[in-house]
Amino acid sequence: MSYLIGGILVYGGLGFGLDRLLGSEFLLPTGIILGAGLTILMLIFRYGRT
């Protein structure tokens, strides 16, 4: 669970920072979704194989 929260926070934070820097409004949600997706993919590759 901590991987998922950490991925969302890191990529969401990057999206938030880029939104503030560029003046856009779409990078925060994109970062959150990307962080969650990449974290789930990492967990599947790490723990899903037997």
Residue 49, exposed/middle/buried by CB under 10 A (0-12, 13-18, 19+)? exposed
Q: What is the pLDDT of residues 18-48, one digit of tens each?
A: 999 999 999 999 999 999 999 999 989 988 8
Say yes or no to pLDDT of 10 above 90.
yes
Short-list 30, 27, 2, CA closest to 42: 2
Instruction: Tell me the whole-structure pTM to 2 decimals.
Output: 0.81
Average pLDDT rounded to a whole number, residues 3-26: 92
Say what the pLDDT of residue 2 is.
Answer: 86
